[in-house]
A = this chain, B = another copy of it.
Amino acid sequence: MKKGDKNTNRSKDEALAHLLQDNGLKITQGRISILEVFSKYHKPLNAEGVSKYLKGNKVDEATIYRTLKSFEEKGILRRVDLRNDSVYFEMNEGHHHHHHLVCKQCGDIEDVDVCEIDRLSKMALMNSSKFKLILDHSLEFFGVCKACNKG
């Protein structure tokens, strides 16, 4: 472990604790551990996956499910539709779909809302007879990765 990791971890946990607090959830070791997993692995996980990565910090299955649900309700996690048979979640970091523009000279970074999803949303609304408000969307692509495509 590198020098400073301890402090880094502590401040990370403090941030996670605040996240809970800000959402009116009690700060418990289990919740922190679950948030750490999502924060560490940066990928969609289902309850089983969370459990697997919790390793030493075991949390009861029922608690994991309850936690994922409450995190989703609070907007801490967002549900991801991957055509799987179980429900996956990932950290919901503010803007759902965004990329970055980085300045080569000064290093300044700008977030950009992806792919014209906003415009697509507007188009969808314009085409709709029943809706006038879109809160959210899901856009997932399905294909074959290069590794699998070698065969």
Residues of A within 8 A of B (CB): 79, 81-83, 85, 87, 99, 101, 103-104, 108, 110, 112-116, 120-121, 123-124, 127-147, 149
Provide the bound-state CA to CA distance between A144 and B115, in Å: 23
Q: Which residues of B contact A139 (CB under 8 A)?
A: 120, 137-139
Provide the bound-state CA to CA distance between A109 and B116, in Å: 23
Provide the bound-state CA to CA distance between A113 and B136, in Å: 17
Contact between chains at B140 and A137 (CB < 8 Å): yes
Report if A114-B127 is in contact (Cβ < 8 Å); known contacts: A81-B81, A141-B121. yes
Report if A112-B99 is in contact (Cβ < 8 Å); known contacts: A137-B142, A140-B81, A143-B134. no
CB distance from A53 to the nearest CB of B (A): 21
Which of B101, B121, B130 makes the CB contact (< 8 A) with A124? B101
Q: Which residues of B contact A85 (CB under 8 A)?
A: 87
CB distance from A121 to the nearest CB of B (A): 6
